[in-house]
Structure 1
Amino acid sequence: MVVDDEALVRSGFQLILSAADDIEVVATTTGAEAVDTVRRTAPDVVLLDIRMPDVDGLTVLRELRVLPAPPVVAMLTTFDADEYILTALSSGAAGFLLKDTEPDQLAQLVRTLAAGGVVLSPKASRAVWRSHPGASAAADDEDTARVGRLTEREREVLVLIAEGLSNTEIGARIHLSAGTVKDHVSAILTKLRVGSRVQAALLAQRAGLLDAGRRGPESGR
């Protein structure tokens, strides 16, 4: 389901996503009608504009998160550094993507969200951190210290979380059962003192773990 105040954006996303054989766009709507439409259509994934004139995206997100079976929500934004993004992520959004995301990437990002992964634009997430008033060298050092508490295997899993992989996909990549990956994820969240995969991914980004990973054997990704 796509939620945006602009009809052109809604129709554009619907057109792009409906072209994928394995994705059905069950509804497109404005913010004012979003919660009722989710209750009626029960989408697995909601792409939600963060800035809307009728009802802002953060309000819609909070209302969706308290539903009995809330959908996975990713925020849509036009800006690389949107001051509302960190609030959205801490409120339970599974990530964010820019409205000018390449059409050929959009379907895969929705698949990632549906599989339980996170969606974070590396360029945009760095910009979000830099724009946040709490961002500082001391905070960067603290993030690095927290990542330093992880084992080598946990750091490997954290990088894959930040790439958007689900537990099953991570297990297939590094030859572990989904249950073992789940245990690693739980340990990672505890050691990093964060409440969600998306917050762990952002912390890994800020600590430079992803840049280091790209310089390694997997740098071709």
Structure 2
Amino acid sequence: MIRVVVVDDEALVRSGFALILNAAEDIEVVAAVPGGQALAAVAAGAPDLVLLDVRMPDVDGLTLLGQLRSLPEPPVVAMLTTFDSDEYIAQALRRGACGYLLKDTDPDDLAPLVRSLVRGAVVLAPKIVPAVVDGYLRHHHDPGPDTERAAGLSERERTVLLLLAQGLSNIEIGRQLHLSTGTVKDHVSALLAKLVVTNRVQAALWAQRAGLLDEDTAP
């Protein structure tokens, strides 16, 4: 079972997400709580994934994200928002969020998105992708370090990075490259270390910034 904690200040949103996700046979919402109860709920429920509201009156979502990512065994965290132009997007991704979903996500899409997040895929609501890329590029003008690091990537590392940037999970990358999931996981971990980034979203944005997505290096 995929264990999920939903953190949102609105009881209606919490109950709605819990109802939709609990209808899936392989997903269990172990807690649906406001921000002030999030850390206790995560400690008690040991979730695989936390769906975390960005804006809450009782606690700052970004601060809570940092606390969750600092745990010894941190869960995957995806941010929830009502706005497709949220100014917190870049900050959340830099602090380790692995996804950014809108609260009006189609209910039929929610369970598949949760599965993708837990498998290691990058999940961004389509409406916010331009804001993510534009915001990241706007605040990172110096291409020097990226160009240098890009030149140091092996052909295999570039291929894995491009597939990762397309949103593929480790399992899906393994299928395309005929590698085991464990081998792909090792490649991704090595990539994150080499690129000096903390998660797959940042790696995907790094690839965009370095211009790799414009190159014809697909396998």
Aligned to 1:165: 168
The structure 2 residue matched to 1:30, chosen from 14, 17, 34, is: 34
SS at match of 1:73: strand
Percent of aligned pairs sharing the same letter: 64
Describe the shift of the 1:144–1:51 C-alpha distance in structure 2 as closer, same or farther (beyond 3 A): farther
Structure 2 distance, partners of 1:68, 1:187, is 20
Aligned to 1:90: 94
Aligned to 2:110: 106
TM-score computed with the length of structure 2 as normaliser: 0.81
The structure 1 residue matched to 2:206, chosen from 203, 206, 212, is: 203
How many aligned positions are there? 214
Q: Give the unaligned 5+ runs of structure 2.
A: none
The structure 1 residue matched to 2:191, chosen from 188, 192, 200, is: 188
Aligned to 1:69: 73
CA contact (8 A) 2:90 2:135 kept: no
Deviations 1:62-98 (A, max 9, x none): 2222333222111111222322222222222222111
Q: CA deviation at 1:105?
A: 1.5
SS at match of 1:76: strand
TM-score computed with the length of structure 1 as normaliser: 0.81
CA contact (8 A) 1:122 1:205 kept: no
State the superposition RMSD in angstroms.
2.8
Q: CA deviation at 1:142?
A: 6.7
SS at match of 2:139: coil
Describe the shift of the 1:80–1:174 C-alpha distance in structure 2 as closer, same or farther (beyond 3 A): same
Aligned to 1:155: 158
Aligned to 1:174: 177
Structure 2 distance, partners of 1:36, 1:79, is 27
Deviations 1:100-135 (A, max 9, x none): 222222111111122233222354132134245843
The structure 2 residue matched to 1:7, chosen from 11, 18, 22, is: 11
Structure 1 distance, partners of 2:143, 2:113, is 28
Deviations 1:123-177 (A, max 9, x none): 41321342458436x4578757754654443333123323443333321232012
CA contact (8 A) 1:31 1:55 kept: yes
Aligned to 1:121: 125
Structure 2 distance, partners of 1:143, 1:83, is 24
